[in-house]
Structure 1
Amino acid sequence: MKTGMQQHTGLRQELRINPRLYQAMDMLYMPMLDLQQHLQQELLNNPFLELEEPEDEEKPEKTTEQEQEEVKKDDEIDWEEILLNGFDVGGSREQFESSEYIEPVTVESRDLADYLRDQIQMLDLQPRRQLLCEEIIGNINDDGYLACTLQEILDSTNQWVISSLPGNSPEPDPDDPFDLDEDEDDPSHEGNGAVVLPEGVVLFTMAELEAALTTIQALDPPGIGSRDLRECLLLQLRDAAAEGSLIHRLVDQAFPDLIAHRWNDLARRFGVEPRVAQEAADTLARLDPKPGLKHGDRAENYVTPDLIVDRIDGRYQVFLNDTGVPRLRLSRAYQDIARERGKMTPENRDFIASRMNSATWMVQAIEQRRQTMLKVMNFIVDRQREFFDKGVEYLKPLTLREVAEVISMHESTVSRVTNEKYVQTPRGVLPLKYFFSSALSTASGEDASARSIRAKLEKMVGEENSAKPLTDQQIVHLFEEQGIQIARRTVAKYRDQLGILPARMRKRV
């Protein structure tokens, strides 16, 4: 076969997505806050777009008598207002505050490390102890636990001490011609590469580090700086003056049996009744397994619902929560300019035509987004009406394909509408994905939602006899009595998702 470049002609059909369609899909995907920012940016880039503001209402003309009464009212001194708001210069307090503008700025928040350092500064510590405490604080994670071993902290601290000595710089980079090794003849290095410490410089020891850790573990909150859950609980029990108690001995000497709820084994080991051992273990519920979270730097995540479902006259109505979204329209001034394109240069005509088309398409895309979201939410409300009336146990199974077939749209479009969107309902603010779940078959032929099954399972466990808790197989039989066919492994999976312990560990003796 002869190789070389060849040319061929042919006809074929291709499906290509218009760039504007890409942008329309992105707008459909955007949550409320992202859409607001996107539209604000479009207002700045496209002069043919402007904010749609309500028309100014015509105010009736005031008569001469009304104007004189207003002037007289302004001249009168309202002593009650002055006594309530003080003698501030510049008007009443409300008037002054409403006219004052404070620019929003980012405020640095304090985290767990700052809280611990503040306490360290209040202690009278030697410089070496304080340095080690600072190093330990830097290795405590958000949960309040030590994130590495003491040996690793000791090695890194001593390495920092050695690198801080005069004449000790980081190892030279062989690929950098300007990074030369100037310490080859330095007297602080021996021939075998070992470091000779100057007189008076001593590296840290493990005993010093353990003493610093003890100092950290005595700080607030109790349990901070622990290496595992057992140590965290012991520190909190020590802070509560419970050393020597039964629960302290259970945690200290038999922690594996304690977390496995082996009450009979614990009772025989410590010479108490199983009920006493279980009641002692109940006190652990008042302790905090993650003491650092209460002082963590956790940003508040606020959710702005995109849709609102409200019950009006016995019917559920769906509204778009787009009050914060800029209302766009075509600028009338630029429309008048566009009508005079005959007097313009070709470049200006092309610019105006492109901007005009872009603005028109943007207004249409926003309206299409609104209509699509309303279609999807209206169908969800009609399908899940029993959920809104009675609760999560009556939630029906629903898939994206079912919604797409009813509203005559593609499944991917419905997925974009429901992604990262929230709806405010009489039962709380919920993500749109909440209404979609898989189905389990029932004896009546209707499907049951997996989310409603989990809610019923949680209710069954909450109402069970604690002395004889329900096993997974017994829960299966209870569901069969309700006409719901479910496997035991599915019950075990849902129970784990809900954080419910097995029957053996839920049993009260």
Structure 2
Amino acid sequence: MALFQRQEIRQTQGQSLVMTPQLQQAIKLLQLSTMELAAFVEQQLEQNPLLQRADGAGEVGTNEPVEAPQPEIVSAPAAEDLAGLTEAIDADFGNVWDAEGPTLPSFSSESGRAGGSFDGDEASLEQVLGEMPTLRDHLVAQLQLDILDPADRIVALYLIDMLDAAGYLSGALDEVVAALGCTVERATSVLERLQRFDPPGIFARNLSECLALQLRDRNRLDPAMQALLDNLDLLARRDFAELRRVCGVDDEDLAEMAREIRRLDPKPALRFESEPVQTLIPDIYMRMHPEGGWIIELNTEALPRVLVDSHYYARIRKSCHSRQDKDYVAEQYNAANWLVKSLHQRATTVLKVATEIVRQQDAFFVHGIEHLRPLTLRDIAEAIDMHESTVSRVTANKHIATPRGLFELKYFFTSAIASATGGEAHSAEAVRHRIKILIDNEPPAEVLSDDRIVEILRRSGIDIARRTVAKYREAMRIPSSVQRRREKVAGLAAN
């Protein structure tokens, strides 16, 4: 068969999306954090002579600066239409761009190795500090691997923000319970998991607990050592005779125990003290409306405001003689206009997504963390007529300041468990909580098996499989029914 070349003209029906540089920029802007967006706009201001910073009245330029959309009012729990928003984001901003959404990000734009040296000549002090992770970065990275439950993550983030510079918990668990509406048991359980994070001794509430956590990490927390930690005042007074009596050890053992305690770090987080503090800037503010519901508004103070200098563009365009100069000026003018439009559409989209998330999770904000409802990216996308990938980009690196604290938008998404009666689905977190309550209240003579828990939950309208109950129980570090029965029998025998 002969091979030859020929030219053909083909006409196809339908539309295809061409990824122009401007469209790529628009998609990129959607997933930038507030700090990253400010840095990007600053870079554009340096590169494009037709862009001007709009810091207030009297700025050079004739175009109006990009303004944020007006605040939205969520009348919960009614799911009425979004009113007052500007034109919804169109296909150019992702409605037909089916790329993978970003992975769950860290809460800071700075990350790197955990240490560094100032002895070499290759890096300045600022560069070395910039590469070092903050304490928050270090803890959140561990949280993402160890704590998968969305509600538990919210509690964990709240506890992380309660740490002082030395790594101690600066408030009581009652504050967490009151702020998030969770149970004391949940707050205590999450704290116990966080106390196993690196550096050892973190999240302690006092010096004795800090040292105990470090000794437990070294597998050296025996009863004698615990007794010594409970009587650190005697060690400070050098009352060795009383310490020997309390701990039940001789002089040699007591001296070795004291030496081991001196090798511990009483302020485990101070290694992070010299690192720059990365303050989380909320993208959205949420507050109660006087007549009910919520007011959702963008943090306009953090949004970069730019304008296109049309007067300067008209002046330099007249002075251009070569084709190359004219093309350059036209290109910069189009790029400036596109940036202004992109910033406005980004603000509109962020507000639109945040408003729908608040509407869907109204019960959490009103009643607390036990009322998180099942929510997926698709739920939000369908409600506001937007593609899932766009919602994914918008919720990445965006934070909302609420009456219950500062949260990343990603943390309001949780999986669902079907209803056995065909009604509304149940949040996976709410089901986990029910399982824990059932096990906590089981009598010693009637320990609940996983099959028995499935029966009880199905009678209450929750359609769940036995393997799912086992998975949730193991995630909460609750032993099997056989092991629980043995422990309770042993406890009764000891009494």
Q: Which amino acid aligns with 2:271?
A: D
**Aligned residue for 1:230?**
219
**Aligned residue for 2:473?**
495
**Aligned residue for 1:327?**
305
2:49 to 26, 34, 47: 47
Q: Confirm whether residue 434 of structure 1 aligns to residue 411 of structure 2.
A: yes
Aligned-partner SS, 1:423? strand
- How far apart, in 1, do the equivalents of 2:425 and 2:460 lie? 13
Q: Which amino acid aligns with 2:409?
A: L
Aligned-partner SS, 2:414? coil
1:480 to 421, 439, 458: 458
Q: CA deviation at 1:390?
A: 1.6
- How far apart, in 1, do the equivalents of 2:371 and 2:414 lie? 12
**Aligned residue for 1:318?**
296
- How far apart, in 2, do the equivalents of 1:24 and 1:431 lie? 21
8 Å CA contact retained: 2:374, 2:416? yes
- How far apart, in 1, do the equivalents of 2:443 and 2:247 lie? 27
Q: Which amino acid aligns with 1:396?
A: R
**Aligned residue for 1:11?**
10
8 Å CA contact retained: 1:476, 1:486? yes
Change (3 A) 1:382 1:221: closer
Q: CA deviation at 1:55?
A: 2.1
8 Å CA contact retained: 2:283, 2:302? no
**Aligned residue for 2:281?**
304
* Higher alpha-carbon deviation: 454-463 or 427-436: 454-463
Q: CA deviation at 1:110?
A: 13
Aligned residues: 317
Aligned-partner SS, 2:23? helix
Q: CA deviation at 1:478?
A: 4.0
Q: CA deviation at 1:420?
A: 2.8
8 Å CA contact retained: 1:400, 1:411? yes
Q: CA deviation at 1:235?
A: 9.3
**Aligned residue for 1:80?**
none
Aligned-partner SS, 1:430? strand
Q: Confirm whether residue 354 of structure 1 aligns to residue 356 of structure 2.
A: no
Q: Which amino acid aligns with 1:297?
A: R
Change (3 A) 1:328 1:450: same
Q: CA deviation at 1:142?
A: 5.9
Change (3 A) 1:324 1:235: farther
Change (3 A) 1:465 1:47: farther
Q: CA deviation at 1:416?
A: 0.8
CA RMSD of aligned residues (A): 4.3
* Higher alpha-carbon deviation: 391-400 or 28-37: 391-400
Q: Which amino acid aligns with 1:37?
A: A
Aligned-partner SS, 2:271? coil
8 Å CA contact retained: 1:221, 1:291? yes
8 Å CA contact retained: 2:51, 2:306? yes
Q: Confirm whether residue 399 of structure 1 aligns to residue 364 of structure 2.
A: no
1:393-472 matches, cutoff 5 A = 393-442=370-419, 443-460=421-438, 471-472=449-450
8 Å CA contact retained: 2:286, 2:294? yes
Q: CA deviation at 1:292?
A: 9.2
- How far apart, in 1, do the equivalents of 2:459 and 2:323 lie? 78
- How far apart, in 1, do the equivalents of 2:453 and 2:344 lie? 49
8 Å CA contact retained: 1:440, 1:484? yes
Q: CA deviation at 1:380?
A: 1.7
8 Å CA contact retained: 2:285, 2:402? yes
- How far apart, in 1, do the equivalents of 2:336 and 2:244 lie? 73
Change (3 A) 1:28 1:466: farther
Q: For residues 46-88 of structure 1, give each alpha carbon's deviation from its aligned partner in whole angstroms, at most 9, with x where no partner exists.
A: 111112123279xxxxxxxxxxxxxxxxxxxxxxxxxxxxxxx
**Aligned residue for 1:294?**
268
- How far apart, in 2, do the equivalents of 1:405 and 1:53 lie? 37
Q: Confirm whether residue 382 of structure 1 aligns to residue 371 of structure 2.
A: no
Change (3 A) 1:224 1:25: same
Change (3 A) 1:416 1:110: closer
Change (3 A) 1:463 1:372: farther
Change (3 A) 1:301 1:489: farther
Q: Which amino acid aligns with 2:469?
A: V
* Higher alpha-carbon deviation: 494-503 or 439-448: 494-503
Q: CA deviation at 1:312?
A: 1.4
Q: CA deviation at 1:232?
A: 6.0
8 Å CA contact retained: 2:227, 2:247? no
In structure 2, stretches of 5+ residues that fail to align are: 60-124, 135-196, 202-209, 232-242, 250-260
Aligned-partner SS, 1:317? strand
- How far apart, in 2, do the equivalents of 1:110 and 1:306 lie? 23
8 Å CA contact retained: 2:400, 2:407? yes
1:111-260 matches, cutoff 5 A = 229-231=218-220, 236-237=225-226, 240=229
Q: CA deviation at 1:362?
A: 0.1
**Aligned residue for 1:30?**
32
Change (3 A) 1:481 1:18: same
Provide TM-score, normalisation by structure 1. 0.52
- How far apart, in 2, do the equivalents of 1:470 and 1:245 lie? 41
Q: CA deviation at 1:358?
A: 0.3
8 Å CA contact retained: 1:48, 1:331? yes
Q: Which amino acid aligns with 1:29?
A: Q
8 Å CA contact retained: 2:320, 2:326? no
- How far apart, in 2, do the equivalents of 1:8 and 1:234 lie? 87
Q: Which amino acid aligns with 1:230?
A: N
Q: For residues 312-364 of structure 1, give each alpha carbon's deviation from its aligned partner in whole angstroms, at most 9, with x where no partner exists.
A: 111211111241232111125424425x5376443332221111100000000
**Aligned residue for 2:235?**
none
Q: CA deviation at 1:106?
A: 7.5
Aligned-partner SS, 2:22? helix
Change (3 A) 1:295 1:326: closer
**Structure of higher CA gyration radius:** 1
- How far apart, in 1, do the equivalents of 2:50 and 2:370 lie? 51
Change (3 A) 1:372 1:243: farther
Aligned-partner SS, 2:268? helix
8 Å CA contact retained: 1:143, 1:291? no
8 Å CA contact retained: 1:307, 1:422? yes
**Aligned residue for 1:365?**
342
8 Å CA contact retained: 1:222, 1:235? no
8 Å CA contact retained: 1:237, 1:243? no
**Aligned residue for 1:192?**
none
- How far apart, in 2, do the equivalents of 1:379 and 1:493 lie? 31
Aligned-partner SS, 2:417? strand
Q: Which amino acid aligns with 1:46?
A: N
Change (3 A) 1:110 1:21: closer
8 Å CA contact retained: 1:222, 1:291? no
- How far apart, in 1, do the equivalents of 2:399 and 2:388 lie? 19
- How far apart, in 2, do the equivalents of 1:245 and 1:491 lie? 45
Q: For residues 246-286 of structure 1, give each alpha carbon's deviation from its aligned partner in whole angstroms, at most 9, with x where no partner exists.
A: 999xxxxxxxxxxxxxxxxxxxxxxxxxxxxxxxxxxxxxx
